[in-house]
Amino acid sequence: MSFEKDDSVVLHDKHSEYDGDTGTITQVMETMFGDATYTVSFEDGQETGVPEDALEAADGDDADDE
């Protein structure tokens, strides 16, 4: 599942202080390998370079790939 700017997502990264928190995608960047990484903003900060497999659509979002 790919995400777009302004999607609400839950971050799953045990090394992040935002693990398990819900945030909003503020930027989508494509790597030189064609994969997407994301910048996710939270109430008290942001996480950059987040890979797609570390994100899950937040409840209530319209999930196209279910």
With tokens 């996480």, the residue in question is 47
Contact 41, 24 (CB under 8 A): yes
Which residue range is the domain that position 38 belongs to?
8-57
Looking at the structure of the chain, the number of domains it has is 1
For residue 58, give the DSSP letter. P
Beta strands across the sheet bearing 45-51: 45-51, 36-42, 22-30, 8-11, 55-57
Contact 6, 48 (CB under 8 A): no
Tokens of 52: 């797609």
Each residue's pLDDT tens digit, 14-65: 999 999 999 999 999 999 999 999 999 999 999 999 999 999 999 864 544 4
